[in-house]
Amino acid sequence: MGAAVYTTMAIPVVTVLLPARNAEATVARAARSLLDGTLQDLRLLAIDDGSTDATRAVLEALAARDSRVEVLTGQGRGLVSALHLGLRQASSPYVARMDADDEALPRRLEASLHALEADPGLAGVGTAVELFRDDQPVSPSLQSYARWINSLTSPEQLFHARFIESPLCHPSVCLRRDALTSTGAWRDGDFPEDYALWLELLEQGHALKNLPEVLLRWRDSPARLTRTDPRYGLERLMWTKARYLVARRGPLSKARVCTLWGSGPSGKLMTRLLREHGVEVRRYIDVHPRKKGTRLNGIPVVGPEELGPPGQEPLLVCVGVRWAREELRRDLAHLGWVEGRDFTCVA
């Protein structure tokens, strides 16, 4: 599909929501990377969310030169409020996201719409991403996270991995507007709004995936919300997971007990959060020789040899080290355990 497929219409095929606050140094480049892309039939809603620098002047200059750009005035109430302000103005069948300091590659919107039009069952797609920093190398952990996102290129892969981490890069996403609005879109609260949206879409039976092509340059910086805002910290991330683990399509929807593989800090935190939903961890599985045979907060810790056959009760794999988790997935599959049916990775 080429850009020529779409002609200029009163309602463009896609509306891009680009909130910006104090982003004078980067927002013009972010916007231009979309406007100069291969898909020209778009509307760019730039929401100035209470900037105190020259961000608004930069956006207004862009709007004066390109009729596809419209500047909206946010109230400085944060990302979710800004996104809803933009969404209320969007009438396009597709809604895409962009951050004020990232850079889209030319085919980003074209490839995303092509994938959505080719598969009506998809509610949205993200893209593979390339991380970059202006001042120093990207951290190895973030590079590993990007590689993991980039690997989730089928709805089945993404669905099975949905409780490991947030499986899509928010500013790379393009969504069907109807699917987005059916969930209530982004919710404001003390939790990661993007991750909660992906889990809600999946809970409602929608399919999501990432395109294998790198189509977004994703900036890492010390000011990233994931570094500075407690809503994106481990506890709120795990709280969000627990909420959907017990939801209708979750692996614990009908279970009041489960086994948890991994008795480290993440496993203990998940145990506490599940208990708040009425689910008890009956036992921990752990390979550490000093832990086996002990009890943690009254819960016995046993070795893998005592796991037993699949089907007895749900197994949650709470192992955060990626190579160890992948090795464990392979071992469980070799023993006849089916991911998504018998076990679910939650870290």
pLDDT digits (tens, 9 = 90+) for 11-23: 899 999 999 999 9
pTM recorded for the entire structure: 0.93
pLDDT of residue 227: 65
Instruction: Tell whether the torsion through CA atoms of 332, 338, 343 and 344 is positive or negative.
Output: positive
pLDDT of residue 223: 66
Six-digit token string for 172: 């790379």
Average pLDDT, the chain: 94
DSSP 87-102: HHH--SSEEEE--TT-
**pLDDT over 50 (residue 76):** yes
The predicted-structure confidence for 186-209, as pLDDT tens digits, reads as follows: 999 989 999 999 999 999 999 999
How are the residues of the chain apportioned to helix, strand and coil, as percentages rounded to the nearest 5? 35, 20, 40
Spatial CA neighbour of 17 closest among 127, 109, 134: 109
The predicted-structure confidence for 100-157, as pLDDT tens digits, reads as follows: 999 999 999 999 999 999 999 999 999 999 999 988 889 899 999 999 999 999 999 9
Identify the DSSP state of 339: B
Contact 257, 171 (CB under 8 A): no
> Which percentage of the chain shows pLDDT scores above 90?
89
CA–CA separation, 132 vs 114, rounded Å?
27
Contact 115, 211 (CB under 8 A): yes
pLDDT of residue 225: 64
- pLDDT bin (cut points 50, 70, 90) of residue 87 is very high
Largest CA distance in the chain: 70
Identify the DSSP state of 4: G
